[in-house]
Structure 1
Amino acid sequence: MNHPENQPEISHSSYRTAQERSAAVERRIAEDPASVRMLTGDRPTGALHIGHYFGTLRNRVRLQESGVETWVIVADYQVITDRDVIGDIRGSVRELLTDYLAVGIDPERTTIFTHSAVPALNQLLLPFLSLVTQPELERNPTVKSELAAAGKSAMGGLMLTYPVHQAADILFCHGQVVPVGKDQLPHIEQTRVIARRFNERYNHGEVYFREPDALLSEAPTILGLDGDKMSKSRGNSVMLSMTADETAKRIRKAKTDSDRVITFDPEGRPEIANLLTITSLCIGRSPEAIAEEIEDRGAGTLKVMCAEALNEHLAPIRARRAELEKAPDHLFEVLRAGNARANEEADRTLARVREIMGMVY
């Protein structure tokens, strides 16, 4: 899933174990994609940028096209975990849906739904909270990093229980695989613990909730055009909704350095490497080969090449986006259909949980 921004510390052994499980998941997908159910999603905070696209969206479409059963949650309740002013959530959801469908997420093959429209999902939070302790929640490194990123000193109740809510997101639909970066591994591990403890405490050790696995992303990090983290609020991003001219203008203003010879050096020349990476992802050539082609023609040449490659790559996405913007009612029809399916699944899961817990009267 695609929520936290900071990178908490993960132990080497835990990360290695997660890598091994992720590799096993990839092999399973290659052999029998239809047997895999994937859950992923985003907080609806507005339209998406190329960092989202190259980092997560393109991989979701790849998995969908391979035959993996795909569920995408629009985590609208999670918008209020760390924000005092929530803004136009409906408008943000509409923008998110527009980008989803424009990049190729197909509602005929992918279930797209919202937190707030699936009551039974959220009700699972109560029994799941019985399976964790306050110190465990407070130690979660992703929660601590999000609190710091939000600039808050006191942790709200929703932020504290954020990992448990994510566990409900995954387990309500029996998601087996969650594509994440290294920063999200603490949440996946918390979900695995909750599934294990539920089975042990309430189901006599029999497996009802399977422990999900992380599908670790190998996507390169796309920096903002100022060399910092890409963010719409910082004005350093290229949005999927921008025109070709707006994109070219943004790329022309991208931060570079004074060395005319272009080389791919992510550590020593991150801004140049970022433009090379974007170009590489668009045209399918290595960043090293692109740098060798440009040689001593400087950053100006690189920026022109990057803008042209990006605009050509995004042109069909932007054309679909323009069509979708003309039909906002269709977008919410897609969401209503996804919500209906998610409710059916959540109701079944909650009913079975109540049976297991002896709460059917």
Structure 2
Amino acid sequence: MSTATTTDRILTGDRPTGPLHLGHYFGTLQNRVRLQNEGVDLFLVIPDYQVLTDRDVAERLTENVEDVVLDYLGAGVDPTRSTVFTHSAIPALNQLLLPFLSLVSAAELSRNPTVKDEIAHSRQAAVSGLMFTYPAHQAADILFCKANLVPVGKDQVPHLELTRTIARRFNERYGPVFPEPRTLLSNAPLLLGTDGTKMSKSRSNSIALKASSDETARLIRSAKTDTIREISYDPEHRPEVSNLVLLAALCQGRDPHEVASAIGDGGSAALKATVTEAVNTHFAPLRARRAEYAQDMAYVRKLIAEGNERANEIAETTLDEVRKAMGTFRMP
């Protein structure tokens, strides 16, 4: 597993399909802010085109993009130290897709585990070409800025391996242009949703970062538990209860066994009260910062435009290197 240093450039991001939730925060966002603050060159892509991989239309896209950016800012992403940009605003990035597709076979695309999973959960009646070429799109996202380190979960390692393959084949065929990005494996905890399944925006079982204190309390009260009064942390045998215990522990910076022991035989009511207080206390500063930024959306849009400008400059430089290496026509 790779570790990040100040010489690394990291590319990561979130599809704008709705506001980010607690699972995003503890799974990736908190770590991104830490890496940024340690001096790593962080690129955060909002891949708005890729919303269409599993949807027929991109509904409320502008609003969703701005929601994600507000979540980033609230969590502590600093646009003066990190580059936040939207996929669709970087034409040179998207021009990399054609040469990249020439470097992979249809069979390699079709057997990619991430593509298979996306197809299985697709909202579309038929698989689109965009869905099929998703790994090449992601390779362009990563390689346009020559990111050499990409945070992934274990299930996404094959996806990044195809990016490495594309970089290697391009370099072998045309000359050295791209790094082969390394994986930064995440050991972040997996939080379940209020229904006991994976927390997901599409399943309506998540608690949004921007949720109010009252909304948070309501959602936690509805969370699935069990009938055993004594609270314990046992993810294998008591996944729903243990998930709530873990959430409180993450918010309080405590060991989950310690949290469970403190609640004791208080039952699910005491557990949910503990979790509600922990979540609302921990996220109060984030929500306050987010609300402050939301009062000046002109400024937020200016930050997005500035991020797009920097990403465009880098993408144009990279595309020029690609054209030179491939011997294609370049504008004087």
Q: TM-score range by the shorter chain?
A: over 0.9
TM-score (norm: length of structure 1):
0.89
Kindly, what percent of the aligned residue pairs are identical?
A: 57
Q: Which residue of 1 aligns with 2:228?
A: 259
Query: Does the residue aligned with 2:6 lie in a helix, a strand or coil?
Result: helix
- In structure 2, the partner of 1:167 is 139
2:100–2:166 contact (8 Å) kept in structure 1: yes
Deviation at 1:123, TM superposition (A): 0.2
- Which of 153-162 and 217-226 deviates more? 153-162
Q: CA deviation at 1:112?
A: 0.5
Secondary structure of 2:265 counterpart? helix
Task: Please state if 1:349 is matched with 2:318.
Answer: yes
- 1:112-123 counterparts in 2 under 5 A? 112-123=84-95
Residues 152 and 87 of structure 1, relative CA distance in 2, 3 Å threshold: closer
Distance in 2 of aligned mates of 1:297 and 1:138: 51
Query: Which aligned pairs between 1:22-171 and structure 2 lie closer than 5 A?
Result: 22=1, 25-26=2-3, 29=4, 33-152=5-124, 154-171=126-143
- Tell whether the 8 Å contact from 1:262 to 1:298 is kept in structure 2 after alignment: yes
Q: Alignment partner for residue 241 of structure 1, among 200, 203, 210?
A: 210
8 Å CA contact 1:147, 1:153 repeated in 2: no
Query: What per-residue deviation string (whole Å, max 9, x for no partner) do you get for residues 286-318 of structure 1?
Result: 111111122212111111111001100000001
Is residue 316 of structure 1 aligned with residue 288 of structure 2? no
Segments of 4+ in structure 1 off by > 6 A? none
Following superposition, the deviation at residue 152 of structure 1 comes to 4.7
Measured after TM superposition, the shift of residue 124 of structure 1 is 0.5
Give the letter aligned to residue 136 of structure 2: V
Q: Give CA deviations for 1:35-61 in whole Å, capped at 9, x if unaligned.
A: 010000111112111111111110100
**TM-score, length-normalised on structure 2?**
0.97
**Shift in Å, 1:333:** 0.4
1:272 pairs with 2:230: no
Unmatched 5+ residue regions in structure 1? 1-21
The two structures, once aligned, show a CA RMSD in angstroms of 1.1
Alignment partners' CA distance in 2, 1:136 and 1:154? 20
Deviation readout 1:301-349 (Å, 9 max, x if unpaired): 1111110011000000010111111111111100100000001000000
Q: Secondary structure at the match of 2:264?
A: helix
Q: 1:153 offset after TM fit, Å?
A: 6.1
Secondary structure at 1:267 match in 2: coil
CA distances 1:134-184 after superposition (whole Å, capped 9, x unpaired):
111111111011000115563211111100010011110000111111121
Q: 1:166 to 1:232 in 2, by over 3 A?
A: closer
Instruction: State the number of aligned residues.
Output: 330
Select the residue among 323, 328, 331 that pairs with 1:359. Answer: 328
